[in-house]
Amino acid sequence: MGTAVKADQGNTTRRISMAVPIRTAVTALCASLAAALLTTAPAQAEQHDRHDQSWSLSGGAHAPRAQITLDDTTGTLSLAVSREGRTVIEPSPVGVVTEQADLSRDLRFLHRKDRTVEERYRTKSGKRLDRRVRMHETRLSFATAAGARLDLVVRASVDGIAYRYVLPSGAGDVLGETSAFNLPADAKAWLGTYRVDNEGQFAPYTAASAPTGDYSDQALFSTDGGYTLLAESGLTGTYSGARLAHTQGTGTYRVELADDRVHSDGPLATPWRAMVTGDLATVTRSTFTDDLAPASRVRDTSWIRPGTVLWTWLAGGRAAGQSLAAQKAYVDYAAERHWPYEAVDAGWYYRPGEWDVTDPDWQSDSWMPELVRYARAKGVGIIVWIHQRDLDTPAERAQWLPTLEKWGVRGVKIDFMNSEAQPMLQWYDTILAETAAHHLMVDFHGSTIPKGIQRTWPQVMTLEGVAGEEKRTNTAAHLTTLPFTRNVIGSMDFTPGAFQRVGLRPNSDAAEAGLAVAYESGLQMLAGTPESYEARPLARAYFDQIPAAWDDTRLLAGEPGQEAVLARRSGARWFLGGIYAGAARTAEVPLSLGPGRWLVETIRDGADGLVQDRRVLRGGDTLTVDVVANGGFAGLACPWRPGITTCHR
């Protein structure tokens, strides 16, 4: 029996029999280590008495790579991200402080556990319905001298790196994180000023030049390693929402929580701090934040159906919401267009000076059941607006939700949460479970942003969390940044199509039509008036064709703040949405839809209104479109063969 030699690699022990020749054994071990995606090795010591420990994790050959380092002197952890040897995120502090222990320093390494996460799931909406997940995960366990424990869980995919903290029972409340992201000072940055309703506009800076202040935790940076979108996933009422705190002159963005103290009664897994990384097309197409989130908690999803919605708030305001006759007229128009939903906004249960729910007879007084019956007979579903304060207590939810379900309402637009503090997140947990139980689709306004919520609760069709069409201060640059920032992580209820708001929006009519494709939303709420659609028959006919669920999404051309051209596929047809900021130009768009010939129909701005062009191009050709200042286009492409003259059905 040969003597055994132990080769210790982190917490992995290999036994090599001396019966095998030494050179063969060493060669085999080296080859095994070189092929491994998950590695751990001592960092190069700067001093003879320093032996920092370092662990590396990557999702593949051209994927981003995380490097986690434990400083031997201070016991502090840092995490850096690179891609193909180029900087994505510089070494950045990692750690958390609880009422029982400071788990950001004086740590010692205990052990490591690796696994591969592989999943397939299907969504009801989003960039593509079928998803396949493959991520490498490493769990690094640490302890302080007093025995306080911290596990750092890191995941790596082809398009992202993410980490979270796992704390055992008895760790106590969380007092804050020392987590931060260090960017090169000259990195390009697109940041949205933090607001509780997440409706800050995105503006360009460099990482260091951004003014001192708080920013949305969704922040896009460009370094020599490519584009990186900072994001969050798996946020629930067990924790607190995050924002980024920055001091001008540095490239550091610190994670600050909405609560000074996050209450925890037992084991705790924090949300994921995610970095969606790659070229701009990879970041735009990524579903990384959904992939990190827990699987769906809704078993039967057959009642969840995305679709186009005629939204009447910008069309008629509160007066329309108070009028059954007006709402029936909107239902008639939605039915004529074969749009599956009509949304009744604020006013339908409002009387001057009081809320109808204070009246014991409010249910019998409401005309909503009549509207729902009227709409159902015409093939239109009704979605109703409701204030969060009217769903704030168990008694209110028990009054509202079963009643709306009994009436046949298809969904609720819940407004004015305006907080990501732990108590409000706990309310989200409750309302998500209860709306699913009552078969009500959900559109959150004045809200958090998706953060994986649409995978776990697929009845959430869309969320606002954006400076959308209602705003009168939006810029064309902001509109062309949204596809690369806010809309990357999930459905965005921007409410496009408000053609009647001439002078109140920064873009052209063709660009406004293109927004319905450039921006993804499970319920695409079209904000125009019937009169505005009738005055633009090309846009109206285009909207008639648009689905709200997509088989695939591709970025054809883009630069944040300047241009964004997205292609979304439904079946064999690709819908195109192009938006631009700046001077008029002839846009040149690579038609990267696949081989063969394509019939391409585009809608652009002409001298006297919208104009449609048709041409046959080969896959890979350049599509040229004349674009006016701050303009854009909408398009539709389908496989061409002799005799095909239109892509419309």
Catalytic residues: 415, 470
- Both tokens assigned to 3: 């003597």
Token code pair at residue 160:
């992202």
Whether 504 and 532 have beta carbons less than 8 Å apart is answered as no
> End-to-end CA distance of the chain, in Å?
77
- Selection from 442, 432, 458 nearest residue 409 by Cα: 442
Q: Are 444 and 425 in contact (CB under 8 A)?
A: no
Using alpha carbons, list the distances in angstroms from residue 580 to 472, 486, 490, 546, 624: 18, 17, 22, 21, 14
Element (H, E) at 355: strand 354-355
| 131 to 66, 114, 436, 487, 551: CA distances (angstroms) | 23, 23, 22, 17, 10
Can you tell me the distance from the alpha carbon of 276 to that of 259, in angstroms, rounded to the nearest whole number?
26
DSSP character string of 286-333: --HHHHHSPPP--S--TT---EEEEE-HHHHHHHHHT-HHHHHHHHHH
Contact present, 371 and 329 (Cβ < 8 Å): no
Instruction: Say if CB 138 and CB 55 are below 8 A apart.
Output: yes
Tokens describing residue 48: 């003879």
- How many other CB atoms are there within 10 angstroms of residue 592's CB atom? 15
CB crowding 292-316: b at 16 or more within 10 Å, else e: bbeebebeeeeebbbbbbbbbbbbb
Q: Between the CA atoms of 280, 284, 285 and 288, what dihedral angle is there, to the nearest 10 degrees?
A: 100
Three-state DSSP state, 570: strand
